[in-house]
């Protein structure tokens, strides 16, 4: 029998496949537009803040003042971490990749939540708020321990981003820095059915609980083709060393068929609108008093120009959000290994919003693979092979 008989069309990487309807987010890859619940990302980055955006994603509408105050209070209250989770972070932070430590910590949270296996919509909403709030505390604590310093308890008087910087550095943060980080949280909060969100939905579609589902998302986000690209892009900039080396580095890499991290996207075939927002902060680093910051900004901007020239118009490969994030985080005193945990802490809002929505009309996610191996082989006993 011809094994290729009746072979269906294969959509490698599920490219171009729609698997569900959603009202959480619209990514317009042709026009380079992004909307959370109908609101353009530029408007949210300029006028809103991460806490309000998390509410918008979870509830599908902007909160009234009263609703926002209540939600903000809940988020602040949920920042604390169980002692065992803090201890576990302390045990592994120095050895494991921060995303591994964070994935384990997120998973552990279920053991300390009396509602972990209560799958009512209200309980899932409360768990979502817990997860969004605690994941930022986890990311900051991992960064803290990795720099060999002692745990800092959250401070409920601070905003979400301020508290993150406080738990990381132990110092009350500058308002401008906290605002920049808040925008970073906002632009990372959601991005439609990206790989990690899909991973969350695959797990949740089996009716695994919310903690299990977002733990799956943590595993998916780690890879350098997805969330890990921000850390990889910064490492590349450091390897380039100075703007003068950029052209040789990029051309050698492209000649060697290497991917430049922070460029290209499955959906955007034009400039990623989130990258444009992050880039605007990077431009101001060109006049930073710190040489490292100026240098990184120069390298990033020259690499951007070269890549657009080499691959932008020709192949539709443009900078994505991860390319410019590194130098901005560095300017906020955030070490490279904490970048992807921050991405995870922000994306937790999108993951939960999608999961809650998907569960309203759940269908097990189970695609097909086309079998191209052999059939009806003769079994030869091991002593005769
Ligand atoms: N540098 C150089 N060439 C690239 C790049 C890149 N960053 N991205 C894609 N290409 C080339 C690729 O080599 C291939 O060329 P060819 O047709 O000659 O074989 C072509 O473009 C198509 O690439 P692909 O990897 O098959 O496309 P995809 O849609 O499967 O991949 C991607 C999308 C994001 C995985 C890919 O662009 C990539 O690996 N980028 C680098 C990693 C990265 O920055 N990831 C972050 C994505 S945005 C944040 C997020 O939401 O996670």
Distance 259 CA to ligand 1 centre (A): 7
Distance 357 CA to ligand 1 centre (A): 29
CA–CA distance, 189 with 184 (Å, rounded to integer): 9
Tokens (6 digits) for 188? 């990372």
Averaged confidence pLDDT in the chain: 95
Count CB neighbours of 95 within 10 A. 9
pTM above 0.85, yes or no: yes
In a mutational test of the pocket of ligand 1, which residue from 259, 306, 313, 339 has the highest number of ligand atoms less than 8 Å from its CB?
259
CA–CA distance, 10 with 197 (Å, rounded to integer): 22
- pLDDT, position 313: 81
Cβ contact 197:217 at 8 Å: yes
In a mutational test of the pocket of ligand 1, which residue from 254, 255, 257, 264 has the highest number of ligand atoms less than 8 Å from its CB?
264
Check if 326 has its Cβ closer than 6 Å to any atom of ligand 1: no
> In this structure, which residue's CA is closest to atom 26 in ligand 1?
266
> In this structure, which residue's CA is closest to atom 1 in ligand 1?
259
Mean pLDDT throughout 373-377?
A: 96
> In this structure, which residue's CA is closest to atom 46 in ligand 1?
226
Check if 258 has its Cβ closer than 6 Å to any atom of ligand 1: no
pLDDT at 169 over 60: yes
> In this structure, which residue's CA is closest to atom 23 in ligand 1?
264
Check if 317 has its Cβ closer than 6 Å to any atom of ligand 1: yes
Mean pLDDT throughout 179-204?
A: 98
Nearest CA to 324 out of 277, 357, 362 is that of 277
Phi, psi of 319 (to 5 degrees): -65, 145
Check if 263 has its Cβ closer than 6 Å to any atom of ligand 1: yes
pLDDT at 1 over 80: no
Check if 302 has its Cβ closer than 6 Å to any atom of ligand 1: no
Distance 223 CA to ligand 1 centre (A): 13
The closest-lying atom of ligand 1 relative to the alpha carbon of residue 233 is 44
- DSSP structure class, residue 370: -
CA–CA distance, 350 with 356 (Å, rounded to integer): 10
Distance 162 CA to ligand 1 centre (A): 34
Distance 238 CA to ligand 1 centre (A): 21
**pLDDT tens digits along 233-267:** 999 999 999 999 999 999 999 999 999 999 999 99
Give the domains, in start order, of the chain with CATH numbers: 25-222+335-359 (1.10.580.10), 229-331 (1.10.230.10)
> In this structure, which residue's CA is closest to atom 28 in ligand 1?
266
Q: What sign does the CA torsion over 92, 97, 99, 100 have? A: negative
Nearest CA to 191 out of 17, 351, 48 is that of 351
| Active site positions, annotated | 226, 265, 322
Distance 12 CA to ligand 1 centre (A): 14
**pLDDT tens digits along 357-372:** 999 999 999 999 999 9
Q: Residue by residue, what is the 3-state secondary structure of 239-269?
A: HHCCHHHHHHHHHHHHHCCCCCCCECCCCCC
Check if 250 has its Cβ closer than 6 Å to any atom of ligand 1: no
pLDDT tier, 130 (very low <50, low <70, confident <90, very high otherwise): very high
pLDDT tier, 314 (very low <50, low <70, confident <90, very high otherwise): confident
The closest-lying atom of ligand 1 relative to the alpha carbon of residue 194 is 51
**pLDDT tens digits along 13-60:** 999 999 999 999 999 999 999 999 999 999 999 999 999 999 999 999
Mean pLDDT throughout 177-183?
A: 98
Q: Please identify which residue in the block is written with the tokens 């309980």.
A: 123
Check if 228 has its Cβ closer than 6 Å to any atom of ligand 1: no
Distance 295 CA to ligand 1 centre (A): 26
């Amino acid at each position: 029998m011809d094994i290729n008989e009746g072979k269906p069309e294969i959509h490698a990487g599920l490219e171009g496949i729609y698997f569900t309807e959603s009202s959480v987010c619209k990514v317009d890859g042709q026009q380079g537009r992004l909307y959370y619940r109908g609101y353009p990302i530029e408007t949210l980055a300029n006028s809103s803040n991460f806490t309000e955006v998390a509410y918008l994603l979870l509830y599908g509408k902007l909160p009234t003042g009263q609703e926002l105050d209540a939600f903000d209070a809940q988020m602040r209250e949920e920042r604390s971490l169980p002692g065992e989770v803090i201890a576990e972070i302390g045990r592994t932070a120095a050895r494991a990749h921060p995303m591994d430590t964070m994935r384990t910590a997120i998973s552990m949270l279920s053991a300390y939540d009396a509602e972990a296996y209560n799958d009512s919509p209200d309980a899932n909403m409360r768990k979502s708020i817990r997860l969004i709030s605690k994941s930022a505390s986890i990311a900051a604590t991992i960064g803290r321990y990795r720099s060999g310093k002692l745990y800092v308890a959250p401070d409920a008087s601070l905003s979400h981003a301020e508290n993150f910087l406080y738990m990381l550095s132990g110092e009350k943060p500058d308002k401008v820095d906290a605002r920049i980080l808040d925008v970073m949280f906002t632009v990372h909060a959601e991005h439609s059915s990206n790989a990690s969100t899909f991973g969350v939905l695959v797990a949740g579609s089996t009716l695994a609980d919310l903690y299990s589902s977002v733990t799956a998302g943590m595993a998916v986000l780690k890879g350098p083709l997805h969330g890990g690209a921000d850390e990889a892009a910064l490492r590349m900039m450091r390897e380039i060393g100075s703007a003068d080396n950029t052209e040789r580095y990029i051309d050698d890499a492209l000649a060697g068929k290497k991917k430049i991290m922070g460029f290209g996207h499955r959906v955007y075939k034009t400039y990623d609108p989130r990258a444009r927002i992050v880039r605007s902060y990077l431009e101001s680093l060109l006049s930073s008093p710190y040489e490292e910051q100026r240098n990184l900004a120069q390298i990033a901007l020259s690499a951007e120009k070269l890549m657009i020239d080499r691959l932008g118009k020709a192949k539709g490969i443009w900078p994505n959000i991860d390319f410019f994030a590194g130098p901005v985080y560095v300017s906020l005193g955030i070490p490279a290994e904490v970048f992807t945990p921050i991405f995870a802490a922000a994306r937790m809002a999108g993951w939960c919003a999608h999961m809650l929505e998907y569960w309203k009309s759940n269908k097990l996610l189970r695609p097909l693979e086309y079998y191209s191996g052999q059939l009806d082989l003769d079994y030869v006993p091991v002593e005769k092979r």
